[in-house]
Amino acid sequence: MLLDVKGVYNFKSKVWIYPGKNAWHFVTLPKDIADEINFLFSAKKRGWGSLKVKVKTGNSEWETSIFPEKNSGSYFLPLKSDVRKKEGIKENIEVKFTIEII
């Protein structure tokens, strides 16, 4: 019997900035969601342990990857500049996301 797994997750997370010249913005997935993703989708991992995802926040949707974060055991999600501007996303605010593993 095959397990029918949709791979869709809803969560809220606070935006943080990776220090440096380019000031990339990220959110970290909740640990329980990361644990389930690791269990169910480890066969889909690509370079650096990344997983391809569709992301939705507000009225914006895009495709990107989530990347493993060794210290927390979770994943981090990069936030595109144009999405941040369109949705008014800034550092230290909590934002609601839907991701789908693809």
Confidence of residue 16 (pLDDT cuts 50, 70, 90): very high
- pLDDT for 33-50, tens place per residue? 999 999 999 999 999 999
How large a percentage of the chain has pLDDT more than 70? 95
- The helix, strand and coil proportions of the chain, stated in percent and rounded to the nearest 5, come to 25, 45, 35
Count other Cβ atoms within 10 Å, centred on residue 51. Answer: 20
Average pLDDT over residues 64-71: 95
The pLDDT of residue 8: 95
Domain limits of the chain?
8-94
Distances in whole angstroms, Cα of residue 25 to Cα of each of 7, 40, 93: 24, 27, 11
The pLDDT of residue 1: 42
Does the pLDDT at position 60 exceed 80? yes
Instruction: Write the CATH number of the domain with boundaries 8-94.
Output: 2.40.30
The pLDDT of residue 79: 97
Give the sheet arrangement for strand 60-69, strand by strand: 8-14, 94-101, 51-57, 60-69, 74-79, 25-28, 16-17
Return mean pLDDT, the chain: 93
Distance between CA atoms of residues 17 and 79, nearest Å: 10
Distance between CA atoms of residues 48 and 91, nearest Å: 25
- Residue recorded with tokens 């809220």: 12
